[in-house]
Amino acid sequence: MAKVKTIYSCTECGASAPKWQGQCPGCGVWNTLVETVAEPVASSNSRFAALGGTAKLQTLSEIEAREEDRLPTGVSEFDRALGGGLVAGGVVLIGGDPGIGKSTLLLQALAELSGANHVLYVSGEESGQQIAMRARRLSLDTKNLKLLAEINLEKILATLQSERPQVAVIDSIQTLWSDQLSSAPGSVAQVRECAAQLTRLAKQTGITVILVGHVTKEGSLAGPRVLEHIVDTVLYFEGDTHSSFRLIRAVKNRYGAVNEIGVFAMTDKGLKGVNNPSALFLSQHGQDVPGSCVLVTQEGTRPLLVEIQALVDQSHGNARRLTVGLEAQRLAMLLAVLHRHAGVVCFDQDVFVNAVGGVKITEPAADLAVLLAIVSSLKNRPLPAKLIVFGEVGLAGEIRPAPRGQERLREAAKLGFTRAMIPEANKPKQPIAGIEVIAVRRVEEAVERLRELD
Ligand code: TYD
Ligand code: MG
């Protein structure tokens, strides 16, 4: 094939240069030039035609708005994260650390789908033999599961064109290379070009494409967020590789709600869905320990109970602040609020905070639980037994309400918790059976009330 001309264009401002250079000639930012194909493979006209079909103008009300048909994968927790199933022509990106279970999940999903649908698994990472062995170990029915071990984009596109599967998995986007670019597989230029071409094909043909993406050390998908813009749905696999639980979370979904999560356990027979995960992230202590506080967090439509652990220890030198599964910046802010408004001093202490079970918590409603865990560790006094906590803490020391407070309380009551320290604004009008509510307005009040409880 004739070599296509490539240029280097800036990811920040779009300026282009004929050769690679460290600094963008347009905006002067460093390290932003990436290789791109100079002339698009398809002419711009045919590209627009592919996306829009006809170019006739319509008003929105004329367009028939119907729900996309969903193709459930048969792996129910995966479908939940997808918002009900796969959509024809949709492009899904699944990111996650190596070894977390991306290939396993997709192999299971494709095997389920292959019963009634035409599916294709493209692997650039493992050989056919390795995949076949895994499928056998998982006792999957693979009679109709087609496999292509290939990393050349043009060959993959040609196969997809001729085979026309309903669903195709590309494992992984970082191993693909297009012969139109000279950069190495996995480089930003290659990843972007390959994803764009596959997306174009998906839109043209209605094939659902699932891309596997590796996460860089910094935790983002390689190809600085370029992929997230191109695709329709972005799912992330989370979880501690040392524990068997895995979460799959939608961070972008053009066809459904985000922050819906699917919960799995990794077993010797692959990933198994966990239907009732609310008590998964509680560690089982024989007795109450200082520095531990149970938070009710809300993930999509489901409340989850997560144990927050804090360790506060005399610092030698610079005081350290470290979080696992929670935002580090937020911890610094909470410590400042605790000092200013409740008079609890931590500047000469190392503070470590951990969300048990490898779950990542991003909602601010975790604030109060983090704060109480810190106070408990500092005073070396366990929090009252059977207590759950949620609520956001503001800079003025106020405690703000969390969404869906009632649901959180009900879930906690169901799991046998008897007391809840929550924002005043979340206090239910009707008492909830089995749970005593301690409603607080301010941080100092929360710390004070803690002292009164046993
Ligand atoms: P894999 O799907 O290969 O991860 P990824 O594609 O995200 O890199 O998962 C591999 C890990 O899962 C590996 O550490 C072994 C574990 N595993 C099990 O525990 N049970 C199983 O049945 C399978 C297939 C894998
Ligand atoms: Mg893999």
Closest CA to 124 of 92, 94, 151: 151
**Residue 203 sits in the same domain as residue 293:** no
Contact criterion met (CB below 8 Å) for 323 and 331: yes
Q: Quick one: which atom of ligand 1 is closest to the CA of 105?
A: 2
Predicted local confidence at residue 67, as pLDDT: 72
Domain end residue (candidates: 275, 300, 326): 275
Strands 392-393 and 302-314, by their bridges, are unpaired
What is the pLDDT averaged over residues 193-207? Answer: 94
Nearest CA to ligand 1 atom 24: 270
- Which residue(s) pair with 422 in the sheet? 439
The tokens describing 402, both together, are 């969390």
**For ligand 1, atom 25: residue with the closest CA:** 270
Q: Tell me: pLDDT of 101 over 60.
A: yes
Distance CA 423, CA 343 (A): 20
Task: Tell me the CATH number at 119.
Answer: 3.40.50.300
Q: Which of 266, 267, 269 to mutate to test the pocket of ligand 1 (most atoms within 8 A of CB)?
A: 266
CATH number, domain with residue 305: 3.30.230.10
Backbone torsions φ then ψ of 18, nearest 5 degrees? -70, -30
d(CA 239, CA 446): 31
Alpha-carbon distance of 77 to 247, in angstroms, equals: 9
- Between 190 and 3, name the one with better pLDDT: 190
Q: Is residue 140 part of a domain?
A: yes
Whether residue 172 is preceded by a cis peptide bond, meaning omega within 30 degrees of 0, is yes
pLDDT of the residue at 2: 57
Lowest mean pLDDT segment, chosen from 7-11, 165-169, 336-340, 437-441: 7-11
pLDDT at 286: 63
Instruction: Give the number of domains in the chain.
Output: 3
In a domain, 250, yes or no: yes
Atom 13 of ligand 1: nearest residue by CA position: 99
Q: Which residues contact 247 (CB under 8 A, 6 or more apart)?
A: 237, 238, 239, 261, 262, 263, 264, 359, 360
H/E stretch holding 247 reads: strand 245-253
Q: Give residue 192's pLDDT band: very low, low, confident or very high (50, 70, 90).
A: confident
pLDDT of residue 224: 42
Length of the chain: 454
- Residue 94's identity, in one-letter code, is I
Specify the amino acid at residue 121.
Answer: Y
374 phi-psi bin (left φ>0, alpha ψ -120 to 50, beta other): alpha
The 10s digit of each residue's pLDDT in 375-401 is 999 999 999 989 999 999 999 999 999
Identify the residue with better confidence: 219 or 284.
Answer: 284
User: Is residue 166 a part of any domain in this protein?
Assistant: yes
Q: In which residue are the tokens 């997306």 written?
A: 199
pLDDT band at 244 (very low <50, low <70, confident <90, very high): confident
Residues 122 and 204 in one domain: yes
Distance CA 177, CA 11 (A): 20
Query: So what's the pLDDT on residue 448?
Result: 94
Q: How far is the CA of 97 from the centre of ligand 1 (A)?
A: 11
Of all residues in the chain, the percent with pLDDT exceeding 90 is: 58
- Asked if residue 187 and residue 84 are part of one domain, the reply reads yes
Atom of ligand 1 nearest to the CA of 107: 2
53 in a domain, yes or no? no
Mean pLDDT (whole number) for 320-347: 94
The CA distances from residue 382 to 124, 378, 402, in Å, are 51, 10, 25
- Is there a domain that residue 43 lies in? no
| Same domain assignment for residues 350 and 253 | no
Q: Same structural domain for residues 302 and 170?
A: no
Q: How many CA atoms lie within 13 A of 178 on its CB side?
A: 25
CA distances from 34 to 11, 44, 98, 180 (A): 7, 21, 25, 14
| 409 pLDDT above the threshold of 80 | yes
Half-sphere exposure of 153 (CA within 13 A, CB side): 25
Structural domain harbouring 338:
280-453
Asked if residue 62 is part of any domain, the answer here is no
Where b means 16+ CB within 10 Å and e means fewer, 347-365 reads eebbbbbbbbbbbebeeeb
Distance CA 57, CA 255 (A): 24
Together in a domain, 340 and 438: yes
**pLDDT over threshold 60, residue 315:** yes
Q: Which of 182-186, 325-329, 408-412 has the lowest mean pLDDT?
A: 182-186
CB 390 within 8 A of CB 435: no
- Phi-psi domain of 16 (left: phi exceeds 0; alpha: psi -120 through 50; beta: other): beta
Q: Which residues line ligand 1 (CB under 6 A)?
A: 96, 98-104, 134, 138, 266, 268-270
pLDDT at residue 43 greater than cutoff 60 = no
Residue 48 has pLDDT above 70, yes or no: no
- pLDDT number for residue 330: 95
Q: What is the 3-state secondary structure (H, E, C) of 347-388?
A: CCEEEEEEEHHHCCCCCHHHHHHHHHHHHHHHHCCCCCCCEE
- Domain endpoint, select from 220, 249, 275: 275
What is the atom index within ligand 1 of the atom nearest the CA of 106? 2
Residue 51: the pLDDT is: 55
Rank 44-53, 183-192, 366-375 by mean pLDDT and report only the highest: 366-375
The per-residue b/e assignment along 410-435, b for 16 or more CB within 10 angstroms, e otherwise, is: bbbbebebebbbbbbebbeeeeeeeb
Average pLDDT value for residue range 116-139? 94
Question: Which ligand approaches the C-alpha of residue 242 most closely?
Answer: 1
Lowest average pLDDT, out of 47-56, 75-84, 276-285, goes to: 47-56
Q: In terms of domains, do 374 and 263 share one?
A: no
b/e map 63-93, b = 16+ CB within 10 Å: eeeeebebbebbbebbbbbbbbbbbebbbbb
Same domain, 308 and 171: no
What's the chain's average pLDDT? 88
Question: Which ligand does the CA of 175 lie closest to?
Answer: 2
Co-location of 269 and 287 in the same domain? no
pTM of the complete model: 0.77
Cα dihedral 210, 211, 214, 216 sign: negative
* Distance (Å) from CA 277 to ligand 1 centroid: 21
Q: Is the pLDDT assigned to residue 337 strictly greater than 80?
A: yes
Amino acid identity of 118? H
* Range in 86-90, 190-194, 297-301, 416-420 with the lowest mean pLDDT: 297-301
Among 275, 308, 341, which residue terminates a domain?
275
Mean pLDDT of 128-152: 93
Which residue did the predictor score with more confidence, 275 or 286?
275
- Shared domain for 120 and 225, answered yes or no, is yes
- For helices 102-114 and 128-137, the axis angle rounded to 10 degrees is 80
Separation CA 25–CA 15 (nearest Å) = 7
Which residue did the predictor score with more confidence, 419 or 260? 419
Point out the ligand 1 atom lying closest to the alpha carbon of residue 270. Answer: 22
Query: Is residue 202 located within the same domain as residue 252?
Result: yes
Asked which of 48-62, 130-144, 364-378, 403-417 is least confident by mean pLDDT, the reply is 48-62
- Asked whether residue 144 falls in the same domain as residue 271, the answer is yes
- Give the pLDDT of residue 221: 53
Distance of CA 320 from the midpoint of ligand 1 (Å): 35
* Band of pLDDT at residue 285, cut at 50, 70 and 90: low
Residue 196 pLDDT: 93
In a domain? residue 51: no
What is the DSSP secondary-structure string of 164-198?
Answer: --SEEEEE-GGG-B-TT--SPTTSHHHHHHHHHHH
Q: Does residue 452 register a pLDDT over 90?
A: no
Structural domain contains residue 52: no
What is the pLDDT averaged over residues 60-65? 80
Residue 102 CA: which ligand is closest? 1
